[in-house]
A = this chain, B = another copy of it.
Amino acid sequence: MVRAGLSPERLTLAGAELADEAGFDQVTLSALARRFDVKVASLYSHLKNSQELKTRIALLALEELADQVAHAVAGRAGKDALMAFANAYRDYARAHPGRYEAARFRLDPRTAAASAGVRHAQMTRAILRGYNLTEPDQTHAVRMLGSVFHGYANLEAAGGFSHTDVASQESWVWTLDSLDAALRNRATP
């Protein structure tokens, strides 16, 4: 009986790949067991339950996304930083739809507070420094940007933008231009 060499990390990674290939809701312990050619019960030595698997995939996705955004934004400011941030976000959602979906998985508050989600909020605020907003406007802006990025990625993933011949890329740039203008408008002199 050769051992498969499972671990929470390998299972999480395989789960993330499975999510990208088949959708986050197709990520089951059974599917994962098949992928490793192992019996389902064996996975319970490494993961408490399927909830933990999903949580781990979500945390992985948040981490990866935060890394990519951080890398994209580094050394940029103002509109340049805004565009880099938004593009990193959208690119990740397009390249890793399952992981992106996982990143939206509802975490319990304690887990969320310890996740890379915190870095996302910090980076968003960092972007906004270039726009000279005072509180509470900065908080409002964080929420607005989060909504647009998330909403756009979501609708695009759902195929909502594929029924006209206007390219999604153009709408995206147009949207970011509009947001930039709106934020500059809000700047305190």
Contact = CB atoms under 8 A, between A and B. Distances in A.
Given A151-B154, A154-B151, A155-B146, A140 B175 contact: yes
A147 B175 contact: yes
A76 B181 CA distance: 26
B178 A144 contact: yes
Interface residue tally on A, bucketed by range: 35 or more
Contacts of A129: none
Nearest to A162: B109
A22 interface: no
Nearest to A168: B143
Nearest to A142: B171
B146 A160 contact: yes
A23 to B, nearest CB: 10
14 contacts: A104-B158, A106-B158, A106-B159, A135-B166, A136-B170, A140-B171, A143-B161, A143-B168, A144-B175, A144-B178, A147-B148, A150-B154, A151-B151, A181-B182
Interface of A: 104, 106, 109, 135-137, 139-140, 143-144, 146-152, 154-155, 158-161, 164, 166, 168, 170-171, 174-175, 178-179, 181-183, 185-186
